[in-house]
């Protein structure tokens, strides 16, 4: 098992060198998620026991809190928020459509949802910080290899390389586990309804 892990890490390092480094737009390539490096990284991290431990330790509590507490869609787009209600509900909640009062009440609900999301996101960030000590060593190694390799490329600014490392950790590792926690074994006994799934996606 250890040999397989070492081999895959070397393949990932090779792909950083010869796929990402050689690309004209490596960040776009990474974010698309269809390049060999992205696919292998996803498969590698999903099969890593230490990654599962980290995700469970980090995400179980805030996800359970979200499932227990939230009853409404935390929509932050005013137009989409209005569409979630029938004309009768709209009038009851916001008043007559097209009036200043209507716009003001819609904005108040948007502001309330944004405030709730900020609180939720801060909880997730808090748990991420709290559990950095158990972040998988092999994933840390891959991120450091990416940074070392790509920061030597003249056409790439250091800020973009850092952003790529962030993309790798968030878009390819942490965010998929937040959106589909049951698939990652983070929660097993709590059903996720449509509202909760939407709010996890918002987070």
SS (H, E, C) 6-18: HHHHHHHHHHHHH
Tokens of 78: 């005013």
DSSP letter string over 53-73? HHHHHHHHHHHHHHHHH--S-
Query: For residue 202, what pLDDT is reported?
Result: 94
Task: For residue 120, name the pLDDT band (cuts at 50, 70, 90).
Answer: very high
Sign of the Cα pseudo-torsion (44, 48, 54, 58, in order)? positive
What local confidence, expressed as pLDDT, does residue 87 receive? 87
Q: For residue 91, what pLDDT is reported? A: 86
Average confidence score pLDDT of the chain:
91
Q: How far apart are CA 134 and CA 48, in angstroms?
A: 13
Short-list 182, 185, 103, CA closest to 196:
182
The whole-number average pLDDT for the span 18-32 is 91
Question: In the prediction, which pLDDT does 2 show?
Answer: 66
CB 131 within 8 A of CB 97: no
Question: Rounded CA gap, 151 and 35, in Å?
Answer: 20
Dihedral (Cα; 49, 54, 57, 60), 10-degree rounding: -90
Question: Per-residue pLDDT for 17 more than 60?
Answer: yes
Residue 38 scores a pLDDT above 90: yes
Kindly state the average pLDDT of the residues 1-22.
87
CA neighbor of 160 nearest in space, from 8, 33, 28 = 28
pLDDT exceeds cutoff 60 at 1: no
121 in Cβ contact with 109 (< 8 Å): no
Arithmetic mean of pLDDT, 168-175: 93
Percent of the chain with pLDDT over 90: 70
pLDDT in tens, 58-114: 999 999 999 887 678 999 999 999 988 888 888 888 888 888 888 999 999 999 999
What pLDDT is recorded for position 5?
A: 84
Confidence of residue 192 (pLDDT cuts 50, 70, 90): confident
pTM passes above 0.95: no
| Angstrom distances, CA of residue 86 to CA of 55, 93, 96, 104, 158 | 39, 10, 13, 18, 49
> Cα 111 from chain centroid?
22
Domains of the chain with CATH codes: 2-202 (1.10.506.10)
Cα distance between residue 158 and residue 153, in whole Å: 9
pLDDT in tens, 43-60: 999 999 999 999 999 999
């Amino acid at each position: 098992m250890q040999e397989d892990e070492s081999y895959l890490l070397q393949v990932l390092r090779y792909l950083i060198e010869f796929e990402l480094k050689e690309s004209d737009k490596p960040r776009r390539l990474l974010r698309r998620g269809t390049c060999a490096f992205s696919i292998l990284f996803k498969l590698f991290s999903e099969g890593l026991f230490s990654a599962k431990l980290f995700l469970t330790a980090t995400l179980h509590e805030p996800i359970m809190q979200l499932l227990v507490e939230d009853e409404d869609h935390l929509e932050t787009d005013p137009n989409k928020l209005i569409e979630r209600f029938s004309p009768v509900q709209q009038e009851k909640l916001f008043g007559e459509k097209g009036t200043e009062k209507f716009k003001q009440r819609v904005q108040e609900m948007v502001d309330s949802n944004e405030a709730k999301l900020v609180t939720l996101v801060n909880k997730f960030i808090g748990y991420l910080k709290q559990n950095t000590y158990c972040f998988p060593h092999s994933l840390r190694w891959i991120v450091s290899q990416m940074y070392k390799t790509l920061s030597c490329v003249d056409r790439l600014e250091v800020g973009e390389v850092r952003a790529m490392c962030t993309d790798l950790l968030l878009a390819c590792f942490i965010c998929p586990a937040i959106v589909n926690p049951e698939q990652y074994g983070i929660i097993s006994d709590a059903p996720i309804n449509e509202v909760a799934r939407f709010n996890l996606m918002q987070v």
